[in-house]
Structures are given as structure tokens and as C-alpha cells.
């Protein structure tokens, strides 16, 4: 009698979220000050993505393999994927916090989000040149941003030619096949930015079932 061939257990399929469903989730997310995010219209997102991709394409990044990371905090790769974006701005401090939810990305991209340690190590110091202006960029991992399993975060400091430094904290996680990314800039301190970025990540993750 032939031994039956064991069948592989099928992997659970992540829900295929529409852009409207993602926008509805973003609209429920609250920031660290318990304010609901302002959801960007899909048309605005498309226009911003197109402009940002064109800008990133014109920038020379060294090391060259770091161009993807340089673009990641600005514009995720969303070809054939669905996306929603929300923002929160504190008029008093000028602090800005943004959240993006992206669904429908391939497993390779999800793996990079889940474990960016290799790229962060290679790209801890970058140089970005655009229109003859050179910007020195440093990237360092940040701990304790979120209690969400698998969440990672890093701080990006961009030193402008006039001596000013612009800093952002980016936090990312994958939840049910959806990439959650929050970016915090401005505010009182790095700890404040970490708190704001983590709050958005945790709030959004709780809404994705």
C-alpha cells in the first residue's frame, strides 16, 4: 500500500486591502496627542509620489546601493500596490508626523522592511548630491520606538550646506502583510520624535486585523 504524500500546510493569505480601506484605517489612527490624522486624498498621494520619484531619480547617492534607503523614508515603492497616507501637524511646535499604510507588496520588499539591519549598517553615512548641492546624511538605528513585534526604527540626520541639520525618525513594521511606516520630524527632541512615531505605529497596528 502506497504511503500517502504529505501535503504542505497552506500559508494564510494576507487580506487584499483596497486604497479606500487603508484610508479608512488611517482616518481612525490617533497621534501621540490623541488627535485623528488628516487623510491625504488619493489624487494628492499619486501626484506627490510621481514628483518625489522624479526628484529621487535626479539625486546622486553615494554609496550607490544606498539610494533605495535614501528614497524609502520619502516614497515607498508602491507599483501595483495600494496605499494611504495621513498626517498630523502641531501648530505650536511645528512637529510633523506622517503615517503610510501600503498593501500588496511582494515578499522580497516585506522582508527588507522586517529586517533592514544590513542596509542600515552599509548606509550609516551617505552623501546626496542634487543640483550641485551636497548633503551629508547619517543614519542610525533607534531602539524602543514601539512594542509591536518586529518593529524597527532609525534616525536620519541631513546636514545642509548652510550648516543646518534636518532630522527625522522613521519607524516601520509589517502587520498582516501591510507595511506600516511612520515618520516624525521637528518637535522638542529625538525622544519626542520617537514617541510620536511609535504612537502612530502602535495605533495603526491595532486597527489592522
What DSSP designation does 15 have? P
0.75 cut: is pTM over it? Answer: yes
- Write out pLDDT tens, residues 17-31: 898 999 999 999 988
For the cut 50, the answer to whether the pLDDT of residue 84 exceeds it is yes
Give the least confident one: 32-36, 96-100, 115-119: 115-119
Q: Quick check: is 6 in a domain?
A: no
Sheet of 133-141, strand order = 38-39, 82-89, 96-103, 178-185, 165-175, 152-159, 133-141, 125-130, 60-62
Distance CA 84, CA 104 (A): 12
- Is there a contact between 201 and 146 (Cβ–Cβ < 8 Å)? yes
- Residue carrying the nine cell digits 483596497: 18
Grouping H, G, I as helix, E, B as strand and the rest as coil, residue 176 is coil
For the cut 80, the answer to whether the pLDDT of residue 14 exceeds it is no
For the cut 90, the answer to whether the pLDDT of residue 98 exceeds it is yes
**pLDDT bracket for residue 37 (50, 70, 90):** very high
- Write out pLDDT tens, residues 111-140: 777 777 778 888 899 998 888 888 899 999
- Residue carrying the nine cell digits 534607503: 69
Average pLDDT, the chain: 83
Q: Quick check: is 9 in a domain?
A: no
Q: Considering its fold, how many domains does the chain have in total?
A: 1
Q: Quick check: is 177 in a domain?
A: yes
The pLDDT value given to residue 24? 95
Q: Quick check: is 141 in a domain?
A: yes
Q: Quick check: is 3 in a domain?
A: no
Q: Quick check: is 200 in a domain?
A: yes
Q: Which three cell numbers stand for residue 87?
A: 498626517
Look at residues 185, 151, 187 and name the one whose alpha carbon lies nearest to residue 166: 185
For the cut 70, the answer to whether the pLDDT of residue 46 exceeds it is yes
Query: The domain that contains 101 carries what CATH number?
Result: 3.40.1000
Distance CA 111, CA 143 (A): 19
For the cut 50, the answer to whether the pLDDT of residue 199 exceeds it is yes
Q: Quick check: is 105 in a domain?
A: yes
The whole domain housing 184 covers 19-205
Q: Quick check: is 189 in a domain?
A: yes
Amino acid at each position: 500500500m502506497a504511503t500517502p504524500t504529505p501535503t504542505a500546510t497552506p500559508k494564510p493569505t494576507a487580506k487584499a486591502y483596497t486604497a479606500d480601506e487603508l484610508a479608512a484605517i488611517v482616518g481612525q489612527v490617533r497621534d501621540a496627542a490623541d488627535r485623528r490624522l488628516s487623510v491625504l486624498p488619493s489624487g494628492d498621494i499619486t501626484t506627490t509620489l510621481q514628483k518625489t520619484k522624479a526628484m529621487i531619480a535626479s539625486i546622486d547617492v553615494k554609496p550607490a546601493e544606498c539610494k533605495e534607503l535614501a528614497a524609502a523614508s520619502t516614497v515607498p515603492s508602491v507599483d501595483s500596490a495600494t496605499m494611504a497616507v495621513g498626517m498630523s501637524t502641531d501648530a505650536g511646535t511645528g512637529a510633523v508626523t506622517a503615517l503610510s499604510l501600503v498593501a500588496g507588496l511582494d515578499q522580497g520588499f516585506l522582508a527588507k522592511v522586517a529586517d533592514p539591519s544590513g542596509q542600515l549598517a552599509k548606509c550609516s553615512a551617505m552623501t546626496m548630491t542634487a543640483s550641485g548641492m551636497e548633503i551629508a546624511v547619517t543614519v542610525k538605528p533607534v531602539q524602543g520606538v514601539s512594542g509591536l513585534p518586529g518593529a524597527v526604527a532609525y534616525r536620519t540626520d541631513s546636514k545642509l550646506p548652510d550648516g543646518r541639520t534636518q532630522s527625522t525618525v522613521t519607524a516601520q513594521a509589517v502587520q498582516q502583510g501591510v507595511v506600516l511606516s511612520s515618520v516624525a520630524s521637528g518637535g522638542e527632541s529625538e525622544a519626542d520624535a520617537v514617541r510620536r512615531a511609535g504612537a502612530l505605529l502602535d495605533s495603526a497596528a491595532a486597527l489592522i486585523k
